[in-house]
Amino acid sequence: MSLPSRLVEPSPLVGLPAMARDLDRVEDALRGSVQTPDPYLTQLASHLIVAGGKRLRPVVAMAAARTGVASVSDDVVQGAVSVELVHLGSLYHDDVIDEAETRRGVDTVNANWGNLQAILAGDLLLARASEIAASLGTEVAGLLAATISRLCMGQISEIRRTYSPARTEAEYLESIDGKTAALFATSARIGGIVAGLDRERIDALTTYGHAFGMVFQIVDDLLDLIATEEQLGKPVGHDLVEGVYTLPVIRTLAAGGSAADELRDLLGAPLSAAECDKALAIVRSGSGVRESLDVGASYVVRAREACEALTSGPVTDTLIAAPAALLASVAGT
């Protein structure tokens, strides 16, 4: 049930020269946000921050702001930090759920210090995110709180359907809407709100962020099924083994026929290595992968259409390019 971590290509958003400087500010602010009077607690809270990351949610927040202002304010940086802290807190909890031992090339907090401390450290990150959001105004605070709720609902929706071959496409989309797309939408919305943009642009940015997040998760789920272990840095088919049946699997089952029947017979329980390889071969040879790319492409279109309400320029052009680049990164895998 891992949250996104398998992208093989960087987003064009990170390539903006101004964004590199903004990200340096975010890194400093992130590290400062988890400093506590207790060095041990600071170590727990900063563990994944120090390990690094793409910081795509802060990038989306700051790019959203830059569609209407020439420079990113300290408040926008703090808004970007708040959404990244929510993401990191969710990873702490997710690693406990998955009993994961590594994340971003380092031992997980739960592997190093145990589940109880990992859960509490994740709670601390979420609390700190809420504290920062509150400093930016009631609208931002309420928005972030609602987003954390949606994230939990999306993850619970996924867990409820673990090992269920009957999981529907609507249930899958509902889950990734909550556990992934909602935080990207909020990242863009917070960037627009704190930068003082007009409501039409804020709403357009929110729509964009949601579409970007949907593409992000669909791509991540595809990579787990069609990439190589070398590309992922971990065994492929993790979601299948964990009983999380994603869009390509759902589409393969829906296509019917002997291949779908064979796949359905394999699913519904933990898979051996040989069974996982067989299930992967069935999914890769069917139409589910191509159809999932088509679904991802529909969200690329939504993202592009949302950008029509934004001021034209290099930042908007890069926002338009980013979802398409995400999808292209897996289409050629």
What residue has token string 């064009």? 12
For 101, the domain range is 12-331
Q: How does residue 16 score in pLDDT terms, banded at 50, 70 and 90?
A: low
Residue ranges in 227-313 assigned as alpha helix (H):
229-232, 238-242, 247-254, 257-266, 273-285, 288-306
299 has pLDDT over 70: yes
Q: What total of structural domains would you count in the chain? A: 1
Q: How does residue 6 score in pLDDT terms, banded at 50, 70 and 90?
A: very low
235 has pLDDT over 90: no
On whether residue 185 sits in a domain, the answer given is yes
How much of the chain, in percent, has pLDDT values that exceed 70?
94
The pLDDT tens digits for 196-205 are 999 999 999 9
pLDDT of amino acid 333: 63
Pairing of strands 102-103, 106-107: antiparallel
Q: How does residue 145 score in pLDDT terms, banded at 50, 70 and 90?
A: very high
Residue 202: CA count within 13 A, CB half-sphere: 15
The pLDDT tens digits for 36-49 are 999 999 998 888 88
On whether residue 1 sits in a domain, the answer given is no
By three-state DSSP, how is residue 5 classified? Answer: coil
pLDDT of amino acid 20: 81
Structure tokens at 108: 């997980």
14 DSSP 8-state letter: G
Q: Residue range 175-201: average pLDDT?
A: 97
On whether residue 261 sits in a domain, the answer given is yes
On whether residue 4 sits in a domain, the answer given is no
On whether residue 172 sits in a domain, the answer given is yes
On whether residue 113 sits in a domain, the answer given is yes
Q: What CATH number has the domain bearing residue 32?
A: 1.10.600.10
Q: Residue range 204-218: average pLDDT?
A: 98
On whether residue 6 sits in a domain, the answer given is no
On whether residue 2 sits in a domain, the answer given is no
